[in-house]
C-alpha cells in the first residue's frame, strides 16, 4: 500500500506532463521513485522507530542515500 501511495503521483497523468514539466522527464521520475523506495525502507527500519520523519529524511540526505538530482539516462 505505501508503494502505491508514494509512487502514485509519478504514475498520474498531468495536463502539462510529469509534475507540470515536459512530457519526456523519465530522469526525474526515476529520481522520485528511487527516493520513495529509500524512504519506505527507512520507515520500515526498526532503528528509526522513534525518530521524526523529518529527522529520518535529513539523516538519509546527510548520509548521501537520497538522489538529489535526476538520473542521467543514456539514450
In a domain, residue 73? The reply is no
What is the pLDDT, as a whole number, of residue 7? 58
Among residues 55, 56, 57, 75, which one has the least CA distance to residue 67?
57
In a domain, residue 22? The reply is yes
Contact (CB, 8 A) for 43 and 2? yes
pLDDT tens digits, residue range 14-64?
444 445 455 457 888 888 889 999 999 999 999 999 999 999 999 999 999
In a domain, residue 54? The reply is yes
Provide the domain count of the chain: 1
In a domain, residue 9? The reply is yes
What is the pLDDT, as a whole number, of residue 2? 57
In a domain, residue 75? The reply is no
Report residue 29 CA to chain centroid gap.
8
In a domain, residue 42? The reply is yes
Contact (CB, 8 A) for 19 and 9? yes
Report the alpha-carbon distance of residue 23 to residue 59 in Å, rounded: 32
In a domain, residue 25? The reply is yes
Which residues form the domain of 56? 2-62
Whole-prediction pTM: 0.67
Amino acid at each position: 500500500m505505501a508503494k502505491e501511495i508514494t509512487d502514485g503521483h509519478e504514475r498520474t497523468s498531468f495536463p502539462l506532463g510529469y509534475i507540470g514539466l515536459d512530457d519526456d522527464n523519465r530522469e526525474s521520475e526515476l529520481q522520485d521513485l528511487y527516493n520513495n523506495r529509500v524512504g519506505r525502507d527507512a520507515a520500515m527500519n526498526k532503528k528509526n522507530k522513534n525518530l521524526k520523519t523529518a529527522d529520518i529524511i535529513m539523516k538519509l540526505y546527510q548520509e548521501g542515500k537520497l538522489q538529489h538530482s535526476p538520473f542521467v539516462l543514456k539514450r
